[in-house]
Amino acid sequence: MQKKFYLLSVALVLAIVVIVMTGCPSGKTGSTVSGDAASKVYVAPGQHDELYGFISGGFSGQVSVIGIPSGRLFRVIPVFSQDAEKGWGYSEETKPMLMTSHGFIPWDDAHHPELSETEGMADGRWLFINGNNTPRVARIDLTTFRTSEIIELPNSGGNHSSPFATENTEYVVAGTRFSVPYPNSDVSIEDYKAKFKGAISFIKIDKTTGAMDLAFQIMMPGFDYDLARSGKMKSGNWMFFSMYNTEQANTLLEVNASQNDKDFIAAINWKKAEEYIAQGKFKEVSGEYYHNTYNEGTHTATSEVKNKVKCLIPEECPGLVYYMPTPKSPHGCDVNPTGEYIVGGGKLAQVVTVFSFDKMLKAIDEKKFEKTIDGIPVLDYKSVVHGEVEKIGLGPLHTEFDDNGNGYTSMFVSSEIVKWNVKDLKVLDRVPTYYSIGHLLVPGGNTRHPYGKYVIALNKITKDRYLPTGPELTQSAQLFDITGDKMKLLSDFPTIGEPHYAQAIAADKIKDKSKQFYKLEDNKHPYKCLTEAEARVERKGNTVHVWLTAIRSHFMPDNIEGVKIGDEVYFHVTNLEQDWDVPHGFAIQGAANSELLIMPGETQTLKWVPKKVGIYPMYCTDFCSALHQEMQGYVRVSPASSAVKISWNKPTN
């Protein structure tokens, strides 16, 4: 009996195995992962990831911070957006961060995060990111993981080829995607060819503080400037920019900007630019732009309005810019770790073009020019090209590198990553991505020494990869292991917004520098309230200021009377905690903005304009202790004609 049972069991198991094997969905090759994939992305509870990843949130205007390899989301940093969760862009202190020459612009399209570098390696100090729509560049401080600074770009029509950094973060750049009149003015769109120009801005970065300053612009022909990359080591004084629409079309670009077989990658010698600026060979051009800085001492942002920019004109600055003809409407423009090869992802071509920096210098030296455009020499293609990677795939967009001489190029149309050898241009491997990969990321793949363990696909479309969520689906990234000859898919994970591009860095370079709280003694906020004894309410005409303190788990004062209809009330809340991970929130009924989320030692201000008579509860919104639920208070709002005087409860000794 037992033997029979045993045989039956074996037969059943075999049957299940056969059913499972043959029943595998044959069309779903994308589900195929190798057996040890899970262990390679598993980060045990309480353990830390190996790398920080910073992924652009695209049209959310934000940046997400994730762990690699787990793909776990740690934080969403609001940059060019209001974020109700954090009070960012809602608190009085942060509103100036979103000011531009067009007024308060609480949204942008964030594309390319860029880590600051020292000697060609990511140093973990700052992260820059561009806003494409109302052209801006932001700097995020990686001790606080908050946006510290935003600078607007004048005379630019869409900041896309940005904010790529030079090897010691001397500059981050910003090339306009949409050319516009320079300086911008009221002209007919039909005058595009005659009057539209493409501004490429160089933003100087202060070595110590990271502070940005618009150093100069180069007034380039009216093309569409797409992406950029700094040279490395021997090519470190050069910045390379890809561009399309050299046809200078101003309508139906889909067709009209895809006529020329070759567009260009521009090589700009920024050291030469510095010389011309020092020699005074610039023009001052008008252009209003805002420069917003968040001060960690006052916990407040301020805006400075500037009106002029130094402009270099290539025709008057020989040796500043050269064009390398590049097939066809190139997107990526990437420099390998040695600085010798510049790779153009020929979006509409079926080849990837690799230029040699040495050849470029030689061609410049020997004046091998095909022609000049607006005084810019166009280098002879054959004299500068190292070679073309043929039959690489459809829609090559963007290339990053490992530390073994290989390039990894994303193929938007054929939805794959192709690995190829940079020197001999041979294709080595290809893997499908799901679906429509845009950029990709090899951690450190844009530096002198790529980390080179992973490549991450940043996909535009997910379709059937996740549980459906209505018409709008999640965006997605895919992690591949590149330690072997063949790339191996490890995991898919969702991202916020559109993951245009990403950066990654070893966790050790950042985690120990992370700020834990703001010291109360360093708080220089004009409305700080550092002791409960100073907590108070003051009326100045129709404005009421409340100096409010918060500590686990009460506000002082928490009973306020004498507010009247018609008043504007400012709650200046100081969090008196001095411990990590103890923010307090503050909300009051009817507030037309958001909550405040106040970090320990910080002061933040909520503006409140009550519209109706009555009693208004206020409370702490961020769970702070077992008595968080008790952290509440009341404000009495009386009619405009009321005689109720301002009063509040005070602690006694």
Partner 1 sequence: MISFSFKKFKMNKYFHFILPLLFVFFIQSCGDKEEFFVVKNIQVGPLNPEMAAKGKVIFQSKCASCHKMESKYVGPPLGMVTKRRSADFVMSQIIDPEAMIKNNDTIKALYAQYNTPMANQHLTQAEARSVFEYLRQVADNGGK
Q: What are phi and psi of 22, to 5 degrees?
A: -75, -20
- For residue 415, whether the previous peptide bond is cis, meaning omega lies within 30 degrees of 0, is no
Neighbours of 433 (CB within 10 A): 28
* Full DSSP string of 202-227: EEEE-TTT--EEEEEEEEEESSEEEE
Number of H helices, E strands in the chain: 7, 46
Strand partners, 127: 115, 140
**Least distance (Å) between residue 548 CB and partner 1:** 12
Radius of gyration of the chain (CA): 28
Of the candidate residues 133, 383, 578, 589, the single one contacting partner 1 (CB under 8 A): 578
Which residue, 195 or 628, is less far from partner 1 as judged by CB? 628
- Does the CA dihedral 598-603-607-610 come out positive or negative? positive
Stretch 590-649 residues interacting with partner 1 (CB under 8 A): 625-627
Which residue, 512 or 521, is less far from partner 1 as judged by CB? 521
Nearest by Cα to 567 from 476, 639, 467: 639
Single out the segment in contact with partner 1 by CB under 8 A; choices: 71-79, 276-284, 324-332, 578-586: 578-586
Which residue, 639 or 651, is less far from partner 1 as judged by CB? 651
* Residues 6+ away with beta carbon under 8 Å from 619: 586, 587, 631, 632, 633
**Least distance (Å) between residue 619 CB and partner 1:** 17
Stretch 509-538 residues interacting with partner 1 (CB under 8 A): 517, 520-521, 530-533
Q: Is 558 in the site for partner 1 (CB under 8 A)?
A: no
Single out the segment in contact with partner 1 by CB under 8 A; choices: 88-96, 190-198, 324-332, 547-555: 547-555
* Tokens 């405009």 -> residue: 640
Q: Is 579 in the site for partner 1 (CB under 8 A)?
A: yes
Residue-wise burial string across 195-213, b where 16 or more C-beta atoms lie within 10 A, e elsewhere: bbbbbbbbbbbeeeebebe
- Residues 398 and 407 sit within 8 Å (Cβ to Cβ): no
**Least distance (Å) between residue 519 CB and partner 1:** 9
Which residue, 526 or 566, is less far from partner 1 as judged by CB? 526
Name the token pair of 384: 């500068």
Neighbours of 160 (CB within 10 A): 23
- Residues 110 and 62 sit within 8 Å (Cβ to Cβ): yes
Name the token pair of 40: 């390679």
Which residue, 308 or 650, is less far from partner 1 as judged by CB? 650
**Least distance (Å) between residue 530 CB and partner 1:** 5
**Least distance (Å) between residue 653 CB and partner 1:** 5
**Least distance (Å) between residue 159 CB and partner 1:** 41
- 54, burial (CB in 10 Å: exposed 0-12, middle 13-18, buried 19+): buried
Single out the segment in contact with partner 1 by CB under 8 A; choices: 157-165, 230-238, 262-270, 548-556: 548-556
**Least distance (Å) between residue 579 CB and partner 1:** 5
The torsion of the CA quartet 325, 326, 332, 337, rounded to 10 degrees, works out to -70
Of the candidate residues 143, 184, 356, 553, the single one contacting partner 1 (CB under 8 A): 553
**Least distance (Å) between residue 512 CB and partner 1:** 17
Size of the site for partner 1 (CB under 8 A): 24
Which residue, 137 or 597, is less far from partner 1 as judged by CB? 597
Which residue, 112 or 584, is less far from partner 1 as judged by CB? 584
Q: Is 257 in the site for partner 1 (CB under 8 A)?
A: no
**Least distance (Å) between residue 326 CB and partner 1:** 52
Which residue, 38 or 615, is less far from partner 1 as judged by CB? 38
Name the token pair of 162: 């940005």
Of the candidate residues 40, 430, 552, 607, the single one contacting partner 1 (CB under 8 A): 552
Binding site for partner 1 (CB under 8 A): 517, 520-521, 530-533, 549, 551-554, 556, 576-579, 582, 625-627, 651-653
